[in-house]
Chains A and B, each alone.
Chain A
């Protein structure tokens, strides 16, 4: 008997089994990784929606309570708030909408012009520098800087596009999610506490209550701070009739949500446009004073922060910087804004847990 003939079906079987096993393995792997990927995406989406809904609920719940105190039932109080908010947005859109959108359209056209003018200013400065410092004569600034800056600009643009998409989807889901949180928040809370074992129940409730109080003042404080900084810029820029004042004010306000780096980023476009657009030195000086002295030092540091944020223990600047860098790396601009509140939430939780467990000499055994 030929050995090859005997072995052939066996080999074939092994080949079939191995191939099937490999195919099954690959399929399983693809399914698993697709599943994990899907899960990660769901958690990512839920996380951001949940977080922003929480911020939204903290901001608007005093108004819901106000309506309830006037005798409205919860459902009607929440509905009334939403209608009122929609009306506010509509009015704002009618009043400032055309200005803002025309500002954006103008800005799109003006950016290349500004780029050229800025380049002009830059090369003018450069030629003066070359006259003063002979060493710089052989160094080709324009090419070198251009090469170095281009990749950053591309990344930033990609980040902005991604952020715009995220923001649009959040604009739909956050109000929806918040509606149910506002309506059934108490029932959610009771269900969650229902899961806490008896021996941790009072501790959990007390801790959550403290965390809630801290977060409420932190989030309300931050948003109110950003609003007033933006308003200050808007009023200040209106004095000198600077172009794009609505855009600049909104930008400064939103940027102010990011500590330390935010105010600097927020003032950069304003100062640049003032340098390029305004012709009198006095007006340019006023814009600089407005951004640095009036908005940041007087309004923010001397008035708003002592009133709004002092109740919340501040994080170490180093922690804040790290949070902003990591947040920016993960979620772009949006990540930079939410990183600090998020780290604050974690720090409040850690601090309160520590305090409760060690300072209060809480015993966990009967």
Chain B
């Protein structure tokens, strides 16, 4: 606990253009100019996680999304006392965007599977952006809607055969 406290204080809060470039490659920020991405970058929170540390837990109130800057994150569903890994996310990929749109509870857990650095973009900042720079916020929200739409289509396709595919079991997280 102490370690992560100090670790988070000394993280550089305005990282260099590398992060800016990475952000621009993420679908949510891809339609923005670099000035606009810089504006969003000011609102991001930098966090570091050790291997095996929870980013959030299934069922907790969600407040926003994370982007993987370094390391790897496992997205895990806990069913019947077992953890089922859904996906692994690496540099440049993002998760938790549903909570950014509707402040709902987390639908799965996110666990760092290596020493990981994330940047978080949260609802209060999105709402603030809507007030101050509504054009930028509209671009973010449009992209989130597109991503969510794509996932909904994927889920519909997957559900069409009405045959539940067994989810491959993996080792418990802890």
Residues on A lying within 8 angstroms of B by beta carbon are 65, 68-69, 186-187, 190-191, 193-199, 201-203, 205-206, 209, 212, 356, 360-363, 366
The answer to whether A198 touches B4 (Cβ under 8 A) is yes
Q: How far, in Å, is A17 (CB) from chain B's closest CB? A: 44
Contacting A at CB under 8 A, from B8-44, are 8-9, 11, 13, 42-43
The answer to whether A195 touches B9 (Cβ under 8 A) is yes
Which residues of A are found within 8 Å of B57, using beta-carbon distances?
A: 363
The answer to whether A69 touches B13 (Cβ under 8 A) is no
Interface check B94, CB cutoff 8 A: no
Separation of A201 and B134 alpha carbons in the complex (Å): 27
Q: Which of B46-54, B140-148, B153-161 contacts A (4 or more CB under 8 A)?
A: B46-54
Q: How far, in Å, is A191 (CB) from chain B's closest CB? A: 7
Task: Tell me the nearest residue of chain A to B61, going by C-beta.
Answer: A206
Which residues of B are found within 8 Å of A197, using beta-carbon distances?
A: 1, 4-5
The answer to whether A190 touches B60 (Cβ under 8 A) is no
Interface check B45, CB cutoff 8 A: yes
The answer to whether B5 touches A209 (Cβ under 8 A) is no
Task: Tell me the nearest residue of chain B to A356, going by C-beta.
Answer: B61
Interface residues on B, range: 20 to 34
Which residues of B are found within 8 Å of A196, using beta-carbon distances?
A: 5, 8
Task: Tell me the nearest residue of chain B to A71, going by C-beta.
Answer: B133
Interface bits B48-92 vs A (CB < 8 Å: 1, else 0): 110001111101111100000000000000000000000000000
Task: Tell me the nearest residue of chain B to A77, going by C-beta.
Answer: B132
The answer to whether B47 touches A198 (Cβ under 8 A) is yes
Q: How far, in Å, is A355 (CB) from chain B's closest CB? A: 10
The number of inter-chain residue pairs (CB within 8 angstroms) is 68
The answer to whether B45 touches A190 (Cβ under 8 A) is yes
Q: How far, in Å, is A242 (CB) from chain B's closest CB? A: 43
Separation of A69 and B123 alpha carbons in the complex (Å): 18
Which residues of B are found within 8 Å of A68, using beta-carbon distances?
A: 132-133
Interface bits B118-153 vs A (CB < 8 Å: 1, else 0): 000011100010011110000000000000000000
Contact flag A69-B133 (CB < 8 Å), given A194-B8, A195-B5, A366-B174:
yes
User: Can you give 11 contacting A-B residue pairs, CB < 8 Å?
Assistant: A186-B43, A191-B13, A193-B45, A194-B13, A197-B1, A198-B4, A198-B8, A202-B56, A202-B60, A361-B59, A362-B60
The answer to whether B133 touches A194 (Cβ under 8 A) is no
The answer to whether B54 touches A199 (Cβ under 8 A) is yes
Shortest 6 CB-CB contacts between residues of A and residues of B: A194-B8, A68-B132, A197-B1, A197-B4, A209-B124, A206-B63
The answer to whether A186 touches B132 (Cβ under 8 A) is no
Contact flag A205-B9 (CB < 8 Å), given A68-B132, A366-B54:
no
Task: Tell me the nearest residue of chain A to B127, going by C-beta.
Answer: A209
Given A65-B131, A202-B60, A209-B124, 10 further pairs, Cβ under 8 A: A69-B131, A187-B13, A196-B8, A197-B5, A198-B53, A199-B1, A202-B62, A212-B124, A356-B61, A366-B54
The answer to whether B49 touches A198 (Cβ under 8 A) is yes
Which residues of A are found within 8 Å of B1, using beta-carbon distances?
A: 197, 199
The answer to whether A194 touches B9 (Cβ under 8 A) is yes
Separation of A68 and B133 alpha carbons in the complex (Å): 8
The answer to whether B63 touches A202 (Cβ under 8 A) is yes
Which residues of A are found within 8 Å of B13, using beta-carbon distances?
A: 187, 190-191, 194
